[in-house]
Structures are given as C-alpha cells and as structure tokens.
Amino acid sequence: MENIELYSLIFLLFILAIKILHQPIRTRYKNLPPSPPALPIIGNLHLLKEPFHRTFFDLSQKFGPIFSLRLASRVAIVITSPSLAEECFTKDNDIILANRPYFWVGKYVGYDYTSIGTAPYGDHWRNLRRICKLQMFSNKRLNLSSSVRGDEVKILLQNLYHTSSHDDFVKIELKPLISKLVFNITMRMIAGKRYTCGEFNQILEATKLHKLIQELLQLGISPNIGDFFPSLQWGHFHGYKKKLVKIAREIDVILQGIVDEHRKNKDEENTLISHLLSLQESEPQYYSDEIIKGLLQVVN
C-alpha cells in the first residue's frame, strides 16, 4: 500500500514538473512564430542535429523563414531570411533584441555579467561600447598598432623561411602559426610585450593563457544542461561548472598579474592597459580591475 502511494506521489510530482516547465512558455510569450511540435520538458532540443545550418534550413522549408524553437525552458527565434535579419537591426528592433540570455559563462568568466559580451543592455553596456569604440578599436589605436602587426607578420615569414630553407620537404601546419601570430599581436597591443619570447616565466604564463582561452572556447560551445534549465543551475552536470570556474579563476589570476605589473611600472609605453589604468585613476569608482579585465577579454 505504501509503495502505491509513493509511486502515485512520484507520478503527480512528474506531472506537476511538466506543467511548471511547459506552461509558462505558452503564457509568457504571445504571438510567437510557428514552431514544430515540442516534447514535454526538453521542448525541441531533440531536433538540434549537426550540421545545424542544414537542420535550420529543413525547418525553414516547413515553417517559413522565421520560426520559434523551445529549448527546454528557453525560447529561441530562428531567422533564415536576409531581409528579416536586416529588420532585426533597424528601427527599434535592435534595442529590443539587444539583450542576451544569462549563461554560466557570463557569470563566471564575464565577471558576473559586467563585461561587454555578457552585460544586459543599459547604461553600463553603452558605456562599455563607447570605451571599445573610442579607446580600443578607434582608428588612432589601430594606427598605433600597425607597426606591431607588421613586425609580427615579418617574424612569421622569417620563421617560415628558416623552416623551409632546408633541402628536405617540410610540412607546415599554418593553424597554430596563425593562432600564435594573432596572440602575439594582441598581447603587444595590450601589454606592450611579445609573450612568446623573453623571460621564461612570461613565456610559460603566455602559453598557459593561450591554452586557457582555447579550453574556454571549446567549453563554451559544449552543451550545458544548466543553461537550458535555469532552475537546475545549482547542479554540477558532467563537471561543466567545475571546469568553467577553474578556467575563469586561472584566467583572472593571469590578467590580474598583468594589470598589477603595469600599475607598478607606470613609465611603460602607451599600451591599452596603461590607458585603462589612467581612466581608473580619474574614475576609480567605475573602472575597477574587474571592468578592466573584462575589457581585456574582448581583445583576447
């Protein structure tokens, strides 16, 4: 008798969970584009098969150039028409669609959703965009770094020449060389140093940072059940959260070390960090170390 009551209770809880997870989607969002039939709890997650662009194309043939997908507790709108995509970024639609969902990456890597890639639309985000536009990616800043880009390309070509100057046939993998080229240009723009040569500790630190960024990119594209079920974000699914927190902490330690080094050596050349630190001196209440490190992540 007790087993029957237990099974009945579990069944009722399961039905209640389905109702809680499924019903808000239909009541919260109205006038949604057409959508394929959704399964309880997981929604349309079972339809997402690689290659994704093929999957979206097939769905667009059935439901039109704009359709919606329910990804567990989240709703996604898929647009396959260039004209509709352009309309999303014109008039008032760009502000409506400016926000992004709150994922774990934004919390642990984006300094609790304060970096430009994770912050919600508002005064803070607009100020970060202004800094990026005027201070980091302006024509003046790019012109100042033109010699850096030229030097790094020259070094790459010299290395290729020395590698291929032997009589034997040499196979060259360009992907890691291009990755190192971009990394060196970035680090020289940020810190004024070429981190693949110089002191041994700096080389180790740069190698570790480069590796951590690659691991973060791989982790960022891997599925995380907590992003689709926000109510389950307290869980550690497949070690995802543990890995993410570990990578974020190690990246933060390296970036903080670079910031502290430039804070001590104020006589260094006009680098991006030195400029951000000068802004911190004028507005310390806003330009915290977390804001500066979040801006440095944009360049990386």
pLDDT, tens digit (0-9, with 9 covering 90-100), for 72-127: 888 889 999 999 888 888 877 888 888 888 888 888 999 999 998 889 989 999 99
Tell the burial category of 69 from Cβ atoms under 10 Å away from its Cβ (0-12, 13-18, 19+): buried
Domains in the chain: how many in total?
Answer: 2
Same domain, 51 and 150: no
Structure tokens at 167: 């009589």
pLDDT at 18: 57
Over the stretch 211-230, which tens digit does the pLDDT of each residue have? 888 888 888 777 777 777 76
Claim to verify: residue 75 and residue 129 sit in the same structural domain = no
**pLDDT given at position 67:** 95
Contact at 8 Å (CB) between 28 and 36? no
pLDDT at 146 over 70: yes
Does residue 19 register a pLDDT over 60?
no
Confidence at 203, pLDDT banded by 50, 70, 90: low
Q: Examine the domain organization and report whether 151 and 252 are in the same domain.
A: yes
Please name the amino acid found at residue 129: R
C-beta separation of 72 from 21 below 8 A? yes
Burial annotation 217-234 (CB, 10 A radius, 16+ → b, else e): eebeeeebebbbbeeebe
* Beta-ladder partners of 39: 43
pLDDT tens per residue, range 124-138: 999 999 888 887 788
pLDDT score of 34: 92
Task: Find residue 77's DSSP bridge partners.
Answer: 68
- Is the CB of residue 247 less than 8 Å from the CB of residue 284? no
Give residue 57's pLDDT band: very low, low, confident or very high (50, 70, 90): very high
Residue 23's domain comprises 2-97
Q: Are residues 76 and 143 in the same domain?
A: no
Enter the tokens of residue 82. 């260039």
Does residue 102 belong to any structural domain of this protein? no
pLDDT for 143 equals 84
Q: Round the CA-based radius of gyration of the chain to a whole number and report it.
A: 24
**Residue 37 one-letter amino acid:** P
Distance between CA atoms of residues 105 and 84, nearest Å: 29
User: Hey, how many other C-beta atoms are within 10 angstroms of the C-beta on 104?
Assistant: 19
Q: Please, which pLDDT band fits residue 164 given cuts at 50, 70 and 90?
A: confident
Is pLDDT of 68 > 60? yes
pLDDT greater than 60 at residue 277: yes
188: Cα separation from own chain's centroid: 22
DSSP string, 151-169: HHHHHHHHHHHHHH-SSS-
Query: Within a domain: residue 92?
Result: yes
Residues linked to residue 74 through DSSP beta bridges, in sequence order = 71
Q: Is the domain of 92 the same as that of 143? A: no
Q: Does position 69 have pLDDT exceeding 70, yes or no?
A: yes
> Do 85 and 134 fall within a single domain?
no
Percent pLDDT > 70 in the chain is 81
